[in-house]
């Protein structure tokens, strides 16, 4: 995926100011920056929730900004949400089945139920869901209502929901937020396995420095809507512009 000159404003606020970066196939790229830097806005432009005033986003041959807002899953891009957005009263398994029908990025239960009536919801779908449930070790909770799970597990279900649609690029928005120490370690392993075992390219927006630095091949740093640094984890950690952006404090500082 290549993002070129992306700009987005909200009234007087310039959320993104000509941001360019790329994510190569098979990479794990971290997108970091202080609060309000524009990270989520980048995601929302890629996933077509926001329309940028300027810039281009290319995914292979696809001009993403020309896609219908619900066209992203169809071209192989999946995303998770900062607050795992699940159907709380539905089981984990049903949430994942909806993920298969989710050609939008926002879930559409109508498409899911329509497919049950038309019989499209077939074995293949159940198999895909079972594979991902196993991959993410969600077997024990597959029949439980999503809303009854811990926040950490709900976030894992959200990752599963994105993965069942078999994306080639996965956008993760703050997957570590709200996780316990133990869950954090599992998350780092999980992100690596998503790339190594499933062959999925990952763009990771994250606040948690240790996580980003330990899993990313490359890191892109935003501050006030502009890219201020880019490179290997070592490079950006030692870049004075990055240290300055994080208020002169240690970049290892966590929330």
Ligand X SMILES: Nc1ncnc2c1ncn2[C@@H]1O[C@H](COP(=O)(O)OP(=O)(O)O)[C@@H](O)[C@H]1O
> Which residues are near Mg ion by CB under 5 A?
39-40
Quick one: which of 2, 27, 36, 87 contacts ligand X (CB under 6 A)? 36
Q: Report the DSSP pairing between strands 201-205 and 169-173.
A: parallel
Taking the least distance from each CB to ligand X, the nearer of 21 and 112 is 21
**Applying CB under 6 A, which part among 18-26, 39-47, 108-116, 140-148 lies near ligand X?**
39-47
- With CA atoms as reference, report the closest residue to 132 among 169, 92, 104: 92
Binding of ligand X at residue 117 (CB under 6 A)?
Answer: no
| 41 interface partner picked from Mg ion, ligand X, none, CB below 5 to 8 A per type | ligand X
Side-chain half-sphere CA neighbours of 82 within 13 A: 9
> Residue 33 or 78: which CB sits closer to Mg ion?
33
Alpha carbon distance 146, 129 (integer Å): 15
The distance of closest approach from Cβ of residue 94 to ligand X in the complex, given in angstroms and rounded to an integer, is 30
From candidates 19, 29, 37, 128, binder to ligand X by CB under 6 A: 37
Residue pair 30/218 in contact (Cβ under 8 Å)? The answer is yes
Non-local CB neighbours of 239 within 8 Å, separated by 6+ positions: 221, 228, 229, 231
Q: Is 105 in the site for ligand X (CB under 6 A)?
A: no
Neighbours of 105 (CB within 10 A): 24
Q: In this structure, what are the phi and psi dihedrals at residue 17, rounded to the nearest 5 degrees?
A: -130, 80
Binding-site partner at residue 233 among ligand X, Mg ion, none, CB < 5 to 8 Å by type: none
Instruction: Find the shortest distance in angstroms from Cβ 243 to ligand X.
Output: 18
175 binds ligand X, rule: CB under 6 A: no
Give the nearest distance from C-beta 79 to Mg ion in angstroms. Answer: 13
**Which residues face 221 on adjacent strands?**
32, 229
What are the counts of helices (DSSP H) followed by strands (DSSP E) for the chain? 9, 10
Both tokens assigned to 195: 């790339």
The residue (of 101 and 227) whose beta carbon lies closer to Mg ion is 227
Which of the choices ligand X, Mg ion, none does residue 37 contact, using the CB cut-off of 5 to 8 A by kind? ligand X
Q: Is 12 in the site for ligand X (CB under 6 A)?
A: no
Q: How far is the CB of 26 from Mg ion (least distance, A)?
A: 25
The nearer residue to ligand X, 37 or 211, going by C-beta atoms, is 37
Rounded to whole angstroms, the Cα distance separating 63 from 65 reads 6
Which tokens in the block code for residue 169?
């690029």
């Amino acid at each position: 995926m290549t993002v070129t000159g992306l700009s987005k404003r909200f009234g007087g606020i310039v959320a993104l100011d000509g941001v360019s970066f790329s994510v190569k196939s098979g990479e794990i790229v971290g997108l970091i920056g202080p609060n309000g830097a524009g990270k989520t806005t980048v995601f929302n432009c890629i996933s077509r929730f926001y329309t940028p005033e300027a810039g281009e986003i290319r995914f292979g041959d696809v001009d993403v900004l020309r896609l219908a807002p619900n066209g992203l899953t169809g071209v192989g891009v999946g995303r998770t949400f900062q607050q795992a957005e699940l159907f709380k009263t539905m089981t984990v398994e049903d949430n994942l089945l909806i993920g298969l029908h989710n050609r939008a990025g926002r879930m559409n239960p109508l498409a899911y139920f329509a497919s049950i009536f038309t019989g499209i919801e077939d074995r293949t779908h159940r198999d895909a869901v079972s594979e991902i449930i196993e991959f993410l070790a969600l077997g024990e909770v597959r029949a439980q209502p999503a809303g009854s799970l811990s926040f950490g597990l709900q976030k894992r279900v959200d990752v599963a929901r994105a993965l069942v649609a078999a994306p080639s690029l996965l956008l993760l928005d703050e997957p570590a937020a709200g996780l316990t120490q133990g869950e954090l370690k599992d998350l780092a392993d999980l992100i690596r396995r998503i790339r190594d075992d499933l062959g999925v390219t990952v763009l990771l927006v994250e606040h948690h420095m240790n996580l980003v630095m330990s899993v990313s091949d490359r890191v892109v740093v935003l501050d006030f809507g502009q890219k201020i640094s880019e490179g290997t984890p070592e490079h950006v950690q030692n870049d004075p512009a990055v240290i300055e952006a994080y208020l002169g404090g240690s970049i290892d500082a966590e929330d």
